[in-house]
Structure formats: C-alpha cells, structure tokens
Amino acid sequence: MTGGHGSASPGGAQPLGVARRWWRVAFVVYAVALHAMTHAPGVRTPGMDLARTDLAAHLGAFAVWTALFHAAGLAGPWLEWRAVARAVAVGALAGAADELSQSVPGFNRVVDPADAVANTLGALLAGVVLLVVARVARARGG
C-alpha cells in the first residue's frame, strides 16, 4: 500500500503512534542543534581524540538525523522502502554538506573525509534499522 502522510494505510502510519508534527519538531530541533555543535568555532569534544572515537559520534549523530528526518515524514510514507531510501540519500548528503561547510572561514574547523564517511555510514545504519522496523510493522499489520 502507498498511503499518504495522513492516511490510515500502513504506508501512512505514524511512527510509534506519535503525530508527524511532533516528529517534525524533534527533527528541526535536532538538526539545528547538530548544525550548531558541528560549526561552533574551534570546539573540541573532550575525550574524542583517542583512536578517532569521534567517528562513532559522527555515525550516531547522522543515524539519528536520518531516522528523525524519516519519522517526520519528510521522505515519504513511514513504512515504504522508497521513503527510507530517500531519507538515507538525504541524510548522506546532509552529512557531506555538514562536513564540507566546516571549511567556511571563521568556523576554525577542519574538513575531514573520514568524518564525512562516518556521517554517511550513520545514514546507512539508520536506513537498515528503519527497513527492519518497517518490515516488522507491516508483518504486524501496520
């Protein structure tokens, strides 16, 4: 089924029974906070220097970004694999853009290709989890 955002069909089901508007609010708040944290001039996260543990933070941050983007309905109906694929693509692009935009003078940040890869892997991880959740939800009837 390919139900719309507000339909009662499985494709339009609300994630965890929460109205789309609250997922959208959560996404916007999270996206703004993440952008602020990744662009604050010269910010270093304590304890993130050893063995590139910051890459796990990048992965997790963009997994959450992608999942919230999808839950907000911005990629399409909740249970459709095409919507998950769109959310992953947008999450990966957002992660790359976030990293590249740190090269803007004044941010005193360093663009790191490994960070961009971790951001992309986070989007992919979210996609895998979302596909599993969608499959389980469809098996249970929506």
pLDDT truncated to tens, each residue of the chain (142 aa)?
334 444 433 455 677 778 889 999 999 999 999 999 888 876 665 555 556 788 999 999 999 999 999 999 999 998 899 999 999 999 999 999 999 998 888 777 888 999 999 999 999 999 999 999 989 988 887 6
What's the confidence (pLDDT) of residue 44?
63
> Is 102 within the bounds of a domain?
yes
What's the confidence (pLDDT) of residue 50?
57
The boundaries of the domain holding residue 125 are 10-139
Domain count within the chain? 1
What's the confidence (pLDDT) of residue 9?
39
**CB under 8 Å, gap of 24 or more: what pairs does 38-46 form?**
38/98, 38/102, 38/109, 39/101, 39/102, 39/107, 39/109, 40/107, 41/106, 41/107, 41/108, 41/109, 42/108, 42/109
> Is 127 within the bounds of a domain?
yes
Q: Please, are residues 23 and 68 in contact by the beta-carbon 8 Å criterion?
A: yes
> Is 3 within the bounds of a domain?
no
- Rounded to 5 degrees, φ, ψ at 56 are -65, -35
> Is 4 within the bounds of a domain?
no
What's the confidence (pLDDT) of residue 106?
79
> Is 116 within the bounds of a domain?
yes
Q: How many CA atoms lie within 13 A of 39 on its CB side?
A: 17
> Is 40 within the bounds of a domain?
yes
Query: Rounded to whole angstroms, how far apart are CA atoms 109 and 15?
Result: 36
What's the confidence (pLDDT) of residue 7?
40
What's the confidence (pLDDT) of residue 8?
38
A 10 A CB-CB count for 76 gives: 20
What's the confidence (pLDDT) of residue 98?
93
Amino acid in the structure at residue 131: L
What's the confidence (pLDDT) of residue 5?
42
CA 41 to chain centre: 23
> Is 104 within the bounds of a domain?
yes
Q: Can you give the pTM of this predicted structure? A: 0.83
> Is 43 within the bounds of a domain?
yes
Q: Helices (DSSP H) in 2-53: which residue ranges?
A: 20-39
Compute CA distances 6 → 75, 81, 128, whole Å: 14, 18, 24
